[in-house]
Structure 1
Amino acid sequence: MTDLNLPPYGEIPDDVRNRVRDKVQQRIRKPKRGVPIAVAAGVALLATAAVVVTTRSEASVAPAQAQNEYDLAMDRCWAAVERSGKTDVYPPRSTWRLTRALTASELVVVGMITPSSPKSPFFCQTTPATVTMSKPGATLRYAEGVRAAALLATDNGILAGVVETTWPAAYLAGPEGGPMALDADRGTGAFIAPSRGDSTSKLTIGWSQDPYAQPPQTHSSLPQAPTPEIDMVDRPWPAPPSDRCTLHAGFALPPQSAYGSSAVIRQDKSLLIVTRGTARLGVCATDRLDNLESTAAFKAGPPVFDLQPDEPLAFSTGLFGAKTTIGGAVPMSTARMQIEFANGVKAEPVVSNGTFAVIIPDGVPLDPARKDRPAVAATAKLLDAAGATIYSGTLRHWDPPK
């Protein structure tokens, strides 16, 4: 960080650069008002360690492209209200007015007010497949001694709420870092920020009479946000791109186009993806999918010259959550796979494009020395799309050279 406490240099995407340029030009044309606010592009949140959150203080200030993005998000939120049968809980869509917004990758969060409740914002988060909304008029659980409360907290690392509108500066801190300066709406106190945690993280809200003071002069524990009123999957989960894995490999790999659709295990906000390239197999584990701070780790598997064209080959693909997994290669014509371990426990892996992945079931002992593979042998049965058996025999396990 510099003496000015600015984020480190990073490449700015073209759409972000254009958005910032539009906003700067609009502010140049407008008279200055209010207290100074440090500004950074919302999408650049991914690259920062101590972040100044930027949202738009007025819906009319947003460039047309961003405004359209927020309108589409609000339309999708309203569709979720209708699908949930809660039109009696939320005000009509036609009355919603944007008061705060934040975008990060494919995640969009909007805060709304209505003419009948101009001081009571509610919030909605959209991801490629989900909608999560706070309840309008929810009872506020204020931090001790101050008027600051959380209204929506998600496992995607988003926190939205309200703070005292008279505070010159407010800050948010959590177990994974801080403080972060909050840019709250001057009329409603509404804010949206990355919490660097999940929906259960313990957070601290801080404030200062000096808008440039860090750390904050006073702070208080922030009670957890209420359970979301709506939390639903409204669209099919998108297929994860293999190139997200290979970007984290740390060594030379074939072109991204060499990787087809792969076997994927999904659990909560994480993915385990087995890739099959022209040179070798690999596995990528992504943590906290769609999160502002999601991570991906790549592990190399067996080289292709170790594969037999008509047989499966397994390798240890590491822990996924608290479970041990294996993955590997199968003949390209394989549509279904069944595994039986020597102690009688069975499993059916996910199969796609010549790859498979499976969580080792409870009851299968693990190798006491390595802990990343079964301690017992296994057999495999492979079937094609017509249900015909194309292989039945030993499931060979590959180990990296020592």
Structure 2
Amino acid sequence: MNKQIQNLYERAQKEQRLIIGLMSGTSMDGLDIALCDVTGSGTQTQIQILAFKTWAYNDDFRTKIKAVFSKRDVDLQLVCLMNEYIANVHAELINLALKEWGYKNDQIDFIASHGQTIFHSPKSLHKLTDYPNGTMQIGDGDHIAVKTGIITLSDFRQKHLAGGGEGAPLAVYGDYLIFSKESEDRVMLNIGGIANFTYLPGSLKANEIFSTDVGPGNTLMDQYVQKHYNIFYDKNSEIASSGILNEKLLSTLLNCGFFDDDFPKTTGPELFNLEYLQSAQKASATESIEKEHVMATLCHFSAETISNAIKKCFGANAAATVFMSGGGMHNPLLASLLKVKLPNSVFMSTADLGINPDAKEAVLFAVLANETLCGSPINFGQRQGVPSICMGKISLPE
């Protein structure tokens, strides 16, 4: 047997595994690195975060990603080069984190890398009848494995596509294993660039669970302040809080077929971008309103789409237990609007369940890798968009 295959087999057989989960989202703020202690698999999975940090991307690196991000027309050579470039940067950051935390690389069993999404194109968005769902994440797993010396699982979303899904969201798999609780219906709400949630029924029946994107989280607000204020995001919603909701603009922003589609569904900045906003402003004759009023309206837009999606599941008087994660939960205006729009629901964070909300997405990929190596596909029934599969390509370091 090849010694690398033997190494993979032996590490997968361990009772206790150290797995690094990586997440770099559409907000492109940095690389989340979560070092997880994992035992068991399936519904017996136990996970503890041993260390976590977000390595903030510098402006140069972020600019390089943006040059190939969410564009139909792009320099193919640059996409090719960025696939390796991002992987090398991520590998370097992993090595630095392990040194900072006092771990040697050979102590780590596996890396689970989400990669960097540069384009997401489900059929509901591209509407090309001859073509399937598509998505692309770059940051090659082989480069990470070789540069760190650690077996790496990557490119998780392609298997989801192959199994009949849209490549997103994948949170349903990890949320079910980590956060389900008998006799308590839960909503695991993650507000990143795009907002998504997983519904976890108290019945614990996997065939009743689903995860879905619901619309923009931070993406439109971030894009707007980056263009008009030359800042990365609206810290503490200072700009949005100084503005006033424009009802005409909000109504036009909400006039989109995506919001009428059934769950589960996916979307991305390919739809919700500044062109979308500009079209809505033109249609609502709000092109001249003050920038802070635009920001206030965009924040209301995110809150409205999230709350409407939860009401779609639980009814107009939704009384859900909502556990929040992602950067959007730190937006005080957005958080307060959600509580106003869902007055009968209880809002908490995944910290109340023992998982740092900023680390949650990275942890979920560690769980996905653990299932591929040590578990088996969870039976989610025959529902469209939730294939019962294990995900992730395996890259060996030698």
More helix as a share of residues: 2
**TM-score interval (norm. to shorter):** under 0.3
Give me the TM-score of the superposition, normalised by structure 2. 0.21
More strand as a share of residues: 1
Task: Flag the structure with larger Rg.
Answer: 1
Give me the TM-score of the superposition, normalised by structure 1. 0.20
